Amino acid sequence: MLKIAPDTAGLGARGSNLTAFGGPVYPPMCDIRSERDSTMFPPADVNPLAASTVAPPETCRPVWRRRGARTTCHSAGFTLLELLVVLVIIGLLAALVGPQLLERLETSKITTTETQIRMLKTALDTLRLDIGRYPTTEEGLALLSNPPADPELRVRWHGPYLDNDLPNDAWGHPYTYIYSGTGNPPFALYSEGDRSASGPVKGIGIHPPG
């Protein structure tokens, strides 16, 4: 059977962009507005296959159509749904881990308070060895840092018995010291703990109330 090739002579530069079936061949450029826009096509002496080796930018993903092709560029970022999912995950983690962290924090405060009370008791025992007695309730723990008013006791006082100032408990409150004269030791030294907690105050230390 005799095959007749299509006559593309006379079409000029436009004929070089036609296939054997008469359809236009678009060069793979990043932006094609219309097949009628001749300014977007390469010259007739440029091989369309060579132009196809030019890769489009990585951020642009062209969507090829028959006519009026447009380029869609995807910018990096998060959608509202993705942000909501992240917020929900953070909220779940906070609900699971938060109470455990608060419990650990409360436990560390109790441990710190108990350590300071043992340090204060050691200082009181040393003071008793020097002056022969423990401080009265009126004198309080200040006698560990300040000499007594009695001249006889002042001579035997070899303080201060604390390396630093008199500390407060882990909640920022001063320790309670009450001299009773009975018991072993004959005084109460404690912290009232977290005063903001509901319920009765549970002291921490030596002979606390309750």
Per-residue pLDDT of the chain (210 residues; tens, 9 = 90+): 444 555 544 444 444 444 545 555 555 554 545 455 555 555 555 555 554 455 555 554 555 555 554 555 555 677 888 888 888 888 877 777 766 666 677 788 999 999 999 999 999 999 999 999 999 999 999 999 999 989 999 999 998 999 999 999 999 999 999 999 988 899 999 998 887 765 555 789 998 876
pLDDT value for 12: 47
Region of residue 199 (left: phi > 0; alpha: psi -120 to 50; beta: else): left
CB atoms within 10 A of CB 74: 8
Q: Facing residues of 190 across strands?
A: 176, 205
Q: Kindly report the three-state secondary structure assignment for every residue of 142-191.
A: HHHCCCCCCHHHHHHCCCCCCCCCCCCCCCCCCCEEEECCCCCCCEEEEE
* Torsion, CA 57, CA 59, CA 64, CA 65, rounded to 10: -130
**Cα separations (Å) of 191 from 103, 123, 199, 204?**
19, 17, 16, 5
Q: Which CATH class is domain 107-206?
A: alpha beta
pLDDT value for 67: 54
Determine contact, residues 185/122, Cβ cutoff 8 Å: no
Residue whose token pair is 């509901």: 198
pLDDT value for 75: 54
Give the H or E element holding residue 101. Answer: helix 80-131
Q: What is the DSSP letter of 18?
A: B
Radius of gyration of the chain (CA): 45
| Three-state SS at 207 | coil
Length of the chain: 210
Sequence spans of domains, the chain: 12-72, 107-206
